[in-house]
Structures are given as C-alpha cells and as structure tokens.
Chain A
Amino acid sequence: MAQNASARLTGRPGWQRLWSDERTRGLIYQLLVVLGLALVVAFIVSNTIANLQRVGLASGFGFLSEQAFFDINQKLIEYSSTSTFGRALIVGMLNTVLVSAMGIVAATGIGFVAGVLRLSPNFLLSRMVGAWVEITRNVPLLLQIIFWWVLLTGLPKVRESLTIGDSVVLNNRGVRLPAPLFEAGFEWVAAALLAGVAAAVFVARWARRRQELSGQSFPVAWTGLVLIAGLPLLVYWIAGAPVAWDVPRPTKFNFVGGFNVTPELVALWIALSTYTGAFISEIVRAGILSVSKGQTEAAGALGLRPGQTMRLVVIPQALRVIIPPLTSQYLNLTKNSSLAIAIGYQDLVSVGGTILNQSGQALEVVGIWMAVYLSLSLLTSMFMNWYNRKIALVER
C-alpha cells in the first residue's frame, strides 16, 4: 500500500525508484564488481592449474628443503652449495636487510648534512650542494649502481692492491678490513658498554626531571659521551686490551685474514645512500623551511644561541614535517636494494631469481618476495610511526 502510494507520488515505476536510491545503486555496483572479480580469479586459477599440470609442476613450498646447487659469496650465516633453497633465501633476505640498514644509516646522515648545507647563507656552498642534489636525484639509480660497481671492480688487481696504513686493502675483489678477534675478558668490556648506556639513559632522565622542577640544566651530552665511550675504554684498558686484530696479509694469489667486503656490497651501499640521501636532503630542507621565522626570532629574543635555537626550537618542529616522507624514503631504499640483481649482489630477489630458474616454482618464489618485502615495509612503518607519535605535537 505504502509503496503504491510513493509510486503514485513520484510517478515512476518500481525499478526506477530502486535505481534512484543511492544505497541500492551502491549495492548493485559492488555486486557487479565482486562478480567480475570472481570471474577473473576463476579464469586465472583454472588457467594456472591447467598450465601447471601441463608442465608437471607440483605447487607448494616443499622445494624449500631441496638442495640448492649454487654458491653465494656474500653471506652473514653459514651457507654452502649443499644447503637448502630455504636457507639460500634466508641468506638473501639477510643480505637485503644488511644493505638496507647500512643504506638507511648513511642516507640519513648524508641527507641531513646536505639539507642543512643547502640552506647555508654561503652562496657558493649552497649552490654546490644544490648541483650535487639535482644531479644525483635526476639520474636513474640503476645507472648509478652500475657506475659505482664498474668503478670499484676497476680498482687495481690483487698484486697492485692499494693499502691504507697496512691494515686496509683495496683491490678489485673488494675492501679487506681488519677483523676484531675477541679474547677472554672482552665480556667485561661489553658489560661496561651496556652499563654505560644504562647509566647515560638514567642521567638523561634525572637531568630532565631536575630541569623541569628547578630549571637548572645539566651537561647531558658530555656526561653521556663519557659514560658510553669512557667506561668501556677504561674497562678495556684494565682488562689488558682483550681484542686482537686479524690484519689482512698478502699470500701468493690473494689476501687472507680480516674480512672482505665485496665490491658489490660497497657499490650498492654508496649508490643507495647517495641517491636516497639526495632525496632526504630535500625533505630536510623543506622541513626546516616549514618552521616559521618567528620561531627563530622568538628563540633569539629569549636569549638562545644559534646552536641552541636549531637544536631546541627548529629541529624538533621540523622533525614533525620530516618524519612521514622520511619513512617512505626508507621504504624506497629497502625496495630499491633489489636492483642489486644487476651487479650480482645476492639479495632476496637475486637469490629468488636463481631458485626460480632452477626449480621453476615461480608462483611460490614471487609469493615469498612479496611476503618478505611487505613485512619489511610494515616493520619499518611501525617503527617510524611509533617515533612519529613520540615527537608529535601534544595538543589539547
């Protein structure tokens, strides 16, 4: 009855009325999308099953426990060509994490220094840094990685190695650095380091509380430095220097001793950190510029020195602008480390590619890639979001 009445009122048949209802329309659209998607998925799945049966490939992750017959020259954990595919993937993943972590640290340093220098009142300096940033940002990363790698592998051969102070050896097989050998008594040094860090944190908290209560400041930075660096050094000296250095020694064909950093890792690291550093410098510059001049002037009026103004007033406010885009640069760096495959640094994608060729388990390998990169991205985002919340503006 009521429906008839409304139909008479609007003067439209029922189906048209249904169509002009936004919610019903939305429901119909969504149903169509779900239907279309289901068809596409069904098409893909049926094709995939047919194709896999045709080539006789069993799907599943059983292949991970099969033997990998290839070698990996850059490894953080025990691995040989008799290890399994699964272990090879872990080695690759650790290599990705290694170069990403190294890159993130270096890129942050380069980016902050370059960003601040670019804002320098010195015309020449700011222009030179600007030119470097523009060149680095506008040339493909892949080209830069290959360029650095060719440069490093073009270093002198083993016989004509360059040495720095008899302990660092540079040649076309990489950089060989002295390796520390920890002897008995070193655990005391490590313990002293931990104690130093704990004491520094404690002092910082105590100094902050005292400053909030009484306004008296305390040289936290110097005390922290003495505690963190001085304490372990003191213990190191008392314990009788329990670290020996395994220095590279030349043999007939190569150097032995110390540990070798491959040219691939160094090239990838330099390229990733300068490329991302150039982007970060722009973010830092924008962040510092976003803090209004009135803040600097007000800090000056309160009698803060330029250094204090920067550290206590400008940087904390700039960080709020800097952190979100900085996070996405970190994620980009991690993902860009996959370009390692072009120069043969065996990261997750490179190792996965080899496994994919050997076993033919393409779907599974790609699934693992996606899972690992997604979880790395999530972990980085979670950490950066936590940090972002910590420094966020406290509002009412």
Chain B
Amino acid sequence: MTAQPFHRSQGDMLTGRAAPVATVGVIGWLRANLFSSWFSTALTLLALYLLSLIVPALIDWAYVDADFAGDNRFACKSSGACWAWVDQRIDQFLYGRYTADQTWRVDLAVVLLIPALAPLLFEGVPFARQLRWFSLAYPAVATLLLVGGIGLESVPTDRFGGFMLNLTVGLAGIVLSLPVGILLALGRRSRLPVIRVLCIVFIEAVRGVPLITLLFVSNIILPTFLPPDVTLDSLIRVIVMVTAFASAYMAEVIRGGLQAIPRGQYEAAQALGLRYWQTMGLIVLPQALKISIPGIVNTFIGLFKDTTLVIIIAMFDILGIGNAMLAHPDWQGLSTEAYVFIALFFFVACFSMSRYSIHLEKRLDTERRD
C-alpha cells in the first residue's frame, strides 16, 4: 500500500487480483457461516460438542450396539436397541388384524397409489391423460381391494389396523375434506343468509372443540340419533368425523385464499356473463387454491397425524398396535424402539408432504417467472 502512489493517471489499469483466500471457497464459507464473530464461533463449538455427544451415541444405540434377531426381549443381550421384534411383528404394524393371506391386497392398493397420484402431483408423467381417469377411479378400486367384493374375499373393516388404518383414514379424509372444505368456504361467503349462517355455525362449532370429542360423539351419540336397527360401520364413522374436522379447518384456509382475490376478478367474470359456479370454478378458485396451497397441505399433514387418535375409540392403528406389543411380556420395556419406529413412518409421510408443498408453490408461482 505505502509503495503505491496516491494519484494515478486514468490510463493505468490495475491488473485484477484474486479475492483474498479468506473470503472465497471453503475457508470463506466457513468464516462467513460458522466463525463470523467470537460469539458465532462459540455457538459453533457448542453445537459441534452437542453433535459429538448425540450422533455417535445415537448410531451406537440404533445400529452398532443393537440386536436384530431373537424371539423375545431376553434374546437382546447388548447395550443398544432391541430390534428383534420388528421381524416378528412387522405384519401387525403394517396390516393390523387384516386377514393374513389377503395382505397382498393392501400392498397392491398402496402400489396402485403411485400411478394414481403421479399425474396429479408431477408434470411430464407419460400417459398423464389416461392415468387421470385412473386417479378418479382409484378410491373405488382401493375400497374394493381393501373391503372385498366381486370375487375377492370380504374383509370386515374391524380387522383393519396398523399403518394401513392410518393410511385408509388419512387418505379418505384428505380426498373428502378438500371438496367439502371448498363448499364450506364458498358457503361462508355466500350472499344467501341461511347458507352463510349454517356454514359459519358448522365451521366455528367444529373448530372450537377437540377432535377427540367428535370421535366420542361418533361412537356414543351417533347411535342415539339413528333408529335402533341402523348401525354405521365404525370405520365410516371415523372417516366422517375426521373429514368433518379437517374440512372446517380447510374451509378457513381456503376462505383466506378467496379473500385475497381482488374484487375485479369477480366483476370481470360477471361482465363476461359467467354464472356463479363458472365464476368460481374457472376464475376464482384456481387462483384462491393456488394461494392456499401451504395451508391446505398443512391441514392434510395435521389430518394424517390426527389419525393416531383412533386408539382413543379402541381402534388399533400403528400406535395402538405398538402399545399392544409393549403390553406383551415378551417385548415389555422396548417403548423407545417401538415409538421411534412408529415416528419414522409419520415423519417420512408428513415431511415429504411438506417438501412437496414447497415444490408445488415454486412451480405454480407465476409472479416471478421470466
């Protein structure tokens, strides 16, 4: 610095120099993100210390020191986790008490879910047009596969259990709660006072109480509302209640989206001579739903997690099966293993849903394209 003259004629150009080593590349990144100040350095060291405590211990517990085979918990001799039960009980965790030689139907229904969902979720799927017809037929196909009929042995719904019960209730709730939620949201903004008031009362009453009370209602009160000779399948009752619960939340999410659509859009649609349903279906809802995607997916995720509540009305979903196993003398005390295992199922399902919603938001974001 001192050697250079202070004044410089305009013609002189300094030759370019590489950026200082400390600000680029790995070192630059480390300095900017981990060691930017003494405080940040302290935090980094603390975090590294915590990680060094947790991660190796976790790996040791879950894998290195774990036992994977055996007939009961006494076969597990090492200090880590005891995964011996997985091999023995996995069928129960997945299918509950579903008729043992028929579980291929559940597998098939899950496999068929891929072609049914793919054209709805992703762009550029081959045969998307034909597959969409299959998506539309999927609920009927899956019901047929799971419950039976047309040559398939019938499986009563009280044998449904394990993760397939969570999937059944969750998927049925998701498929039903979106349209019901849309109708409720439109009803709440309707100009007809009777419909508006009814929708408001329904939405607020359902949102005001916990899901458990609704499940109790379906179990205990619904029979008193019906003639004595009429009984509703308990799986259907649960699906109805879960749908009612989720659709009230869905309605509020979608109402938020509807409120964000400028009045001009409604007026322009009317000026074009579109009727109410045309206005909503072609102009307003496509925009409103796009805005509401994060909220809608969050409601789906909440609904899926809430399917574990069926254990409170004595249905054995994956959590119920886990608790039942932990009550068995062979596997008592393995609660951490069992709950971690169950948590993984939900984590994978819910986390991928939330990642997908972020992806979809970006894909549909027409504002910032070009």
Question: Are A and B subunits of one complex?
Answer: yes
Smallest Cβ distance from A79 to chain B, in angstroms? 23
Question: Please, could you name 12 A-B residue pairs with CB atoms under 8 Å apart, sorted by A?
Answer: A26-B191, A30-B195, A47-B224, A121-B36, A121-B40, A122-B33, A125-B43, A143-B319, A335-B211, A342-B311, A366-B216, A378-B208
Say yes or no: B198 contacts A37, CB within 8 Å: yes
Check: A307 CB closer than 8 A to any chain B CB: no
Check: A138 CB closer than 8 A to any chain B CB: yes
Smallest Cβ distance from A210 to chain B, in angstroms? 34
Pick the residue among B32, B208, B223 that contacts A377 (CB under 8 A).
B208
Pick the residue among A139, A142, A370 that contacts B347 (CB under 8 A).
A139
Smallest Cβ distance from A351 to chain B, in angstroms? 13
Query: Given A33-B198, A48-B225, A143–B308 Cβ distance below 8 Å?
Result: yes
Say yes or no: A52 contacts B224, CB within 8 Å: yes
Query: Given A37-B198, A370-B208, A338–B33 Cβ distance below 8 Å?
Result: no
- In the assembly, what is the distance between CA of A34 and CA of B221, in Å? 24
Check: B312 CB closer than 8 A to any chain A CB: yes
- In the assembly, what is the distance between CA of A135 and CA of B209, in Å? 26
Main secondary structure of the interface of A (DSSP, over half): helix
Q: Which of B213, B221, B223, B350 has the most CB of A within 10 A?
A: B213
Chain B 207-246 near chain A by CB (<8 Å), digits 1 or 0: 1111111001100110111111000000000000000000
- In the assembly, what is the distance between CA of A47 and CA of B50, in Å? 62
Q: How many of chain B's residues have a CB under 8 angstroms from any CB in A?
A: 55
B125: chain A residues within 8 A (beta carbon): none
Chain B: which residue is nearest A363 at the CB level? B221
B193: chain A residues within 8 A (beta carbon): 30
Within 8 A of B (CB), among A288-345: 335-336, 338-339, 341-342
Main secondary structure of the interface of B (DSSP, over half): helix
Smallest Cβ distance from A63 to chain B, in angstroms? 15
- In the assembly, what is the distance between CA of A290 and CA of B289, in Å? 22
Check: A150 CB closer than 8 A to any chain B CB: yes
Check: B86 CB closer than 8 A to any chain A CB: no
Say yes or no: A349 contacts B210, CB within 8 Å: yes
- In the assembly, what is the distance between CA of A142 and CA of B322, in Å? 13
Quick check: which of B5-13, B58-66, B76-84, B338-346 contacts chain A, the rest being far away? Answer: B338-346
Say yes or no: B209 contacts A369, CB within 8 Å: yes
A48: chain B residues within 8 A (beta carbon): 224-225
Say yes or no: A374 contacts B309, CB within 8 Å: no
Chain A 347-382 near chain B by CB (<8 Å), digits 1 or 0: 001000100100000110010011001100110000
Smallest Cβ distance from A154 to chain B, in angstroms? 8
Smallest Cβ distance from A221 to chain B, in angstroms? 21
Which residues in B have some Cβ–Cβ distance to A below 8 Å?
32-34, 36, 40, 43-44, 47-48, 50-51, 191-195, 198, 205, 207-213, 216-217, 220-221, 223-228, 301, 305-306, 308-309, 311-312, 319, 323, 333, 335-336, 339, 342-343, 346-347, 350-351, 354
Smallest Cβ distance from B224 to chain A, in angstroms? 5
B312: chain A residues within 8 A (beta carbon): 341-342
- In the assembly, what is the distance between CA of A54 and CA of B342, in Å? 44
Query: Given A123-B34, A335-B209, A128–B306 Cβ distance below 8 Å?
Result: no
B347: chain A residues within 8 A (beta carbon): 135, 138-139
Say yes or no: A128 contacts B47, CB within 8 Å: yes
- In the assembly, what is the distance between CA of A134 and CA of B40, in Å? 23
Nearest 3 CB-CB pairings of A with B: A123-B33, A138-B350, A338-B210
- In the assembly, what is the distance between CA of A27 and CA of B196, in Å? 13
Query: Given A33-B195, A139-B347, A366–B44 Cβ distance below 8 Å?
Result: no
A229: chain B residues within 8 A (beta carbon): none
Check: A256 CB closer than 8 A to any chain B CB: no
Smallest Cβ distance from B137 to chain A, in angstroms? 30
Say yes or no: B213 contacts A366, CB within 8 Å: yes
Chain B: which residue is nearest A124 at the CB level? B47
Chain B: which residue is nearest A147 at the CB level? B339
Within 8 A of B (CB), among A10-54: 26, 29-30, 33-34, 37, 44, 47-48, 50-52, 54
Say yes or no: A339 contacts B346, CB within 8 Å: no
- In the assembly, what is the distance between CA of A373 and CA of B101, in Å? 46
Check: A120 CB closer than 8 A to any chain B CB: yes
B44: chain A residues within 8 A (beta carbon): 122, 124-125
- In the assembly, what is the distance between CA of A363 and CA of B207, in Å? 19
Smallest Cβ distance from B147 to chain A, in angstroms? 26
Say yes or no: A124 contacts B48, CB within 8 Å: yes
Say yes or no: B213 contacts A349, CB within 8 Å: yes
- In the assembly, what is the distance between CA of A151 and CA of B337, in Å? 12
Say yes or no: A373 contacts B209, CB within 8 Å: yes
Pick the residue among A47, A143, A356, A373 that contacts B342 (CB under 8 A).
A143
Check: A62 CB closer than 8 A to any chain B CB: no
B33: chain A residues within 8 A (beta carbon): 121-123
Query: Given A146-B339, A342-B312, A141–B43 Cβ distance below 8 Å?
Result: no
Check: A219 CB closer than 8 A to any chain B CB: no
